[in-house]
Amino acid sequence: MQKGRVIQSTGSWYHVDTGDEIIESRLPGRFRLDEKEVTNPIAVGDYVEVSMNDDSTGSIETIGDRENYITRQATHGKRGEQILVSNLDQACVVQSIKKPKLKEGFIDRFLVTCEAYEVRATIVLNKMDLAKSGGLKKAEELKQLYEDIGYTFITTSIENEESLEGLKQLLKEKTSAFIGPSGVGKTSLVNAIDPEYNLKVGDISDFSNKGKHTTTFAQLIPLSFGGYIADTPGIREFGLVNIEPWELSLFFPEMLEPRKNCKFNNCTHNHEPKCGVAEAFENGEIAASRYQSYLNMLDSL
């Protein structure tokens, strides 16, 4: 039996890194039956034990407990949830200032998921070389907003060596994930900070101005300067899972104190009287964009 970490998943095969070799492994059917609530019983980042077959492939026998993970609603009409990557030191939501368009709602949904699953979150705003005066102002406003509530916010461009150095320091000696829509430059950033990998990069579709899906499966990439980065498939929508309406505000850091002043313990901060969160919003203590994101998520739940 060999111990290792899943560094790549192609759906039917899992690449397990033991430190000495990478073993192509399959998953016995019993795990698929046991994990009814998830579409993928094994995720990139999982620690596993593998038994060797006669043909030098492996069979995954045990899956270690996960310290944390990033999940989203299953896609293509499937029920349950999809685990994107597990056992992280941090997760980076990557957005571009333009091409494709910045989605603040995506950022906020991602941050809620990180709070719910106890993953440290960082916001990376990429393609700053495309920003004009309006974009630069928007980036500064967002940086102020998210840093004020406790998140790390960095701006990057593959054309700016200084910004890439800051990103490298953020990732060094950590297991991190890049998560965001297609086309925002996740793979380009990995190539720029560690060129030896030369991962395939897709172009933006001129017709839709949305990214073409280039990364089709998750993979955990060892960085030459220490640590791992999980490059994940592009995500257009980030659906929340396993969160009840009454607890949603627990995952908005700026709402934790105001919600103590609510009259009702199960207040949803939407319509109830004597609501501490609504009062804090009216007093300018909670940003309008964040409160609107909260209401949008509440509606979706």
Q: Give the CATH number of domain 2-65; options: 3.40.50.300, 1.20.910.10, 2.30.30.110, 2.40.50.140.
A: 2.40.50.140
Domain locations along the chain: 2-65, 70-231, 245-300
Query: Reduced to 3 states, what is the DSSP secondary structure of residue 115?
Result: helix
Note the pLDDT tens digit of each residue in 261-272: 999 999 999 999
The count of other CB atoms within 10 Å of the CB of residue 234 is 22
SS3 letters for 47-97? Answer: EEEEEECCCCCEEEEEECCCCCEEEEECCCCCCCEEEEEECCCEEEEEEEC
* 127: pLDDT strictly greater than 80: yes
d(CA 260, CA 33): 42
Closest CA to 134 of 183, 94, 97: 97
CATH, range 70-231:
3.40.50.300
Q: What is the structure's pLDDT at 30?
A: 65
* 211: pLDDT strictly greater than 70: no
Contact by Cβ (8 Å): 127, 96: yes
- pLDDT, greater one: 11 or 237: 11
Token pair for 93: 């939501």
Fold category of 245-300 in CATH = Ribonucleotide Reductase Protein R1; domain 1 (1.10.40)
Q: What is the structure's pLDDT at 88?
A: 95
Note the pLDDT tens digit of each residue in 94-123: 999 999 999 999 999 999 999 999 999 999
- pLDDT, greater one: 19 or 30: 19
